[in-house]
Amino acid sequence: MCLGIPGRIVAITDAEAMMATVDVSGVRRSVDVTCVAPKDGPLDGLVGRWTLVHVGFAMSLIDEEEAKATLAILHEIGEANAEIAAFAGEVA
Amino acid sequence: MTAPLTAGANPFQDRETGRRLIARIGEKLDRLGATERKPVRLMEICGGHTHTIFRHGLSGVLPAGLEFLHGPGCPVCVLPMGRIDDCVAIAEDPRVIFTTFGDAMRVPGSKKSLMQAKADGADIRMVYSPLDALELARRNPDREVVFFGLGFETTMPSTALTVLKAEREGIANFSLFCNHITIIPTIRAVLDTPGMMVDGFIGPGHVSMVIGLKPYRFIASQYDRPLVVTGFEPLDVLQSVWMLLDQIDRGVVEIQNQYARVVPEEGNPQANAAIDAVFETRPFFEWRGLGSIDESGVAIRERFARFDAERRFAVRSPAVAEPDSCQCGGVLTGTVKPWQCPLFGGACTPESPVGALMVSSEGACAAYHQYGGLRKGAA
């Protein structure tokens, strides 16, 4: 029950009530965005952003740069192994 | 801009990268001299990670020198029977529409589960969000709508914000039966368990999204154990295993963040503000299998008393003894494996659970039963 699902904020439906429409794999539903609202300024800046939705609340904006960085590290850890294996193979 | 989380192939499930990571983990374990008899033991605190580990068969593909211990991080699994009895008592009040997440429906009480109470005629409805419960209250002004709030800090902001919304709108027929629990005292209880065998922690991803990394620092400074906050894809878990082994290998003990794409170091200030506004720490809270843990639960503040189902209904929270032979407590602290419980797979199955760890797919026993078969060494 503690898992969330990534979705894209597609519209602000009621700024006063902090409600937005979020698209999760083609399914759209109304979601509360209080936890990801900018401190100052309108909610419109959220439109287009990816967010992790948990029980009807947008809980965190998903940082795509961080996601790419994680993938790069994962790739690097994997590749490093391949290099080590190749190096070990050459020596042998 | 790339969109790594859009539909299509999920790069966090890439098999080739996974295969290489597993090899790297094997090299680390060899360097550490870990063996099946003397493994490195990593505890995933969160039931979501337990689910990932089993669903993707990670235990089966990793070397025998690594052992996963499945910790107490599934809120459904640690609910004491007495609180389920309270839910049933509230739900059987004819004025009440009782609302709950689906996970809690099959958790056994001392007499019946919510599902059985529903079959017996109580008006119990499964909802996706506490906001759905609030909407039911708006539509049914002549009924009392009670939402069963449970979960760690991940779920707390949503119920807190729902209470704040109910207050703003002046909704008089909505209340929350608060069973929220907090992660830090839980981890401390594991660390203080006699015979504790954990070498490092796979830290919860979505709890950390709310609380940030700072609250975990005592694990490194006071207990000399590393923790890596981790995402829920198989590669996330593998990367964190590698990061933990790398710390052990280098002789350092740190709190690290593998899940930075979702978890900010400082947590979520709006979510924490909502939690602080609505909830206060209880002196203690009863856990199934673990007993009473100091300051491990929260209650609704006096200011919001009219939204507190515990005050509006006669909630008794009877102390109910665990079923005979049930080993949930030992499993939760990593000192007993599910297959060592005499009830496992016999008297206790996912279809007919005795212990709470057999109920949710995030419970260690249910995961062993579903994915690992009934034998030792299956996971």
CB-based contact (8 Å) between B266 and chain A? Answer: no
- DSSP states along B144-197: EEEEEEEESTTTHHHHHHHHHHHHHHT-SSEEEEEEEB-HHHHHHHHHTSTT--
Token couple for B106:
């099959």
| Phi-psi category of residue B121: left, alpha or beta, with phi > 0 → left and psi -120 to 50 → alpha | left
- pLDDT-based confidence at B7, cuts 50/70/90? very low
Which residue in A has a C-alpha nearest to residue B268's C-alpha? A35
- Strand partners for B133: none
ipTM attached to this prediction: 0.89
Which residue in A has a C-alpha nearest to residue B264's C-alpha? A60
Beta carbons of B54 and B373 less than 8 angstroms apart: no
User: Taking a contact as any Cβ pair under 8 Å apart, which residues of chain A between 7 and 66 contact chain B?
Assistant: 17, 25-26, 32, 34-37, 50, 52, 54-57, 59-60, 62-64, 66
- pLDDT-based confidence at B14, cuts 50/70/90? confident
The one-character DSSP state at A52 is E
- Strand partners for B46: B73
Beta carbons of B364 and B44 less than 8 angstroms apart: no
Asked if the model's pLDDT at residue A86 lies above 80, the reply is no
CB atoms within 10 A of CB B224: 9
Q: What is the pLDDT of residue B374?
A: 46
CB contact under 8 A, A54 and B161: no
Q: What is the pLDDT of residue B1?
A: 35
The structure's pTM equals 0.90
- Between B17, B152, B271, which is nearest A75 by CB? B17
Which residue in A has a C-alpha nearest to residue B239's C-alpha? A74
Asked if the model's pLDDT at residue B291 lies above 70, the reply is yes
Q: By percentage, how much of chain B surpasses pLDDT 70?
A: 96
More confident residue, B182 or B290: B182
Asked if the model's pLDDT at residue B257 lies above 60, the reply is yes
Secondary structure class of A86 (helix, strand, coil)? helix
Q: What is the pLDDT of residue A80?
A: 61
Backbone angles phi, psi at B43, to 5 degrees: -100, 125
> Which of B302, B301, B297, B343 is closest to B317 using CA atoms?
B297
Q: Interior CA angle at B151 toward B145 and B156, to 5°? A: 75
CB atoms within 10 A of CB B377: 12
Instruction: List strand residue ranges (DSSP E) for chain A, in order.
Output: 5-14, 19-24, 27-32, 50-54, 57-61
Distance of CA B346 to the CA centre of its chain: 25
Asked if the model's pLDDT at residue B372 lies above 80, the reply is no
CB-based contact (8 Å) between B106 and chain A? Answer: no
Asked if the model's pLDDT at residue B4 lies above 50, the reply is no
Nearest-10 Cα torsion for B286, B101, B264, B281: -30
Asked if the model's pLDDT at residue B363 lies above 70, the reply is yes
Name the residue with tokens 């969000």. Answer: B129
Beta carbons of A37 and A43 less than 8 angstroms apart: yes
Beta carbons of B258 and B229 less than 8 angstroms apart: yes
- State whether CATH 3.40.630.30 applies to domain B81-183+267-313: no
C-alpha to C-alpha distance for B42 and B45, rounded to whole angstroms: 9
Mean per-residue pLDDT, B53-62: 90
Determine how β-strand B66-73 pairs with β-strand B124-126.
unpaired
> Which of B318, B335, B332, B322 is closest to B365 using CA atoms?
B332
C-alpha to C-alpha distance for B248 and B225, rounded to whole angstroms: 9
Query: For residue range B167-180, what is the model confidence (pLDDT) as tens digits?
Result: 999 999 999 999 99
* Residue B45, Cβ density class (10 Å: 0-12 exposed, 13-18 middle, ≥19 buried): buried
Mean per-residue pLDDT, B14-27: 91
Radius of gyration of chain A (CA): 20
CB contact under 8 A, A84 and B27: yes
| Phi-psi category of residue B271: left, alpha or beta, with phi > 0 → left and psi -120 to 50 → alpha | alpha
- Between B5, B204, B242, which is nearest A62 by CB? B5
- Between A35, A60, A81, which is nearest B20 by CB? A81
User: Taking a contact as any Cβ pair under 8 Å apart, which residues of chain B between 182 and 211 contact chain A?
Assistant: 204, 206-207, 209-210
Check the CA dihedral B284-B286-B291-B297 and report its sign.
Answer: negative
Q: Side chain identity at A38, as an amino acid letter?
A: P
Pick among B132, B147, B261 to test the A interface (most A CBs inside 10 A): B261
Q: What is the pLDDT of residue B321?
A: 79
Beta carbons of B175 and B307 less than 8 angstroms apart: yes
C-alpha to C-alpha distance for B304 and B162, rounded to whole angstroms: 12
Mean per-residue pLDDT, A29-44: 93
Secondary structure class of B235 (helix, strand, coil)? helix
Considering the domain A5-88 in this protein, what is its CATH number? 2.30.30.140
Instruction: List chain B residues with CB under 8 Å of A55.
Output: 101, 128-130, 155, 158
Query: For residue range B90-112, what is the model confidence (pLDDT) as tens digits?
Result: 999 999 999 999 989 988 888 99
Which residue in A has a C-alpha nearest to residue B153's C-alpha? A2
Which residue in B has a C-alpha nearest to residue A8's C-alpha? B6
Beta carbons of B228 and B256 less than 8 angstroms apart: yes
Q: Interior CA angle at B260 toward B256 and B261, to 5°? A: 160
More confident residue, A15 or A26: A15
Q: What is the pLDDT of residue A89?
A: 53
More confident residue, B196 or B298: B298
Q: Where are the domains of chain B?
A: 15-75+198-257, 81-183+267-313, 327-368
Q: What is the pLDDT of residue B352?
A: 83
Instruction: List chain A residues with CB under 8 Å of B73.
Output: 2
CB contact under 8 A, B262 and A70: no
CB contact under 8 A, B20 and A52: no
Token couple for B112:
């019946």
C-alpha to C-alpha distances, B214 to A77, B211, B329, nearest whole angstrom:
27, 8, 28
> Which of B226, B219, B229 is closest to B200 using CA atoms?
B226
Superfamily of chain region B15-75+198-257: HypD, alpha/beta domain 1 (3.40.50.11750)
Q: Where are the domains of chain A?
A: 5-88
Closest Cα in chain A, distance from residue B81 (Å) = 19
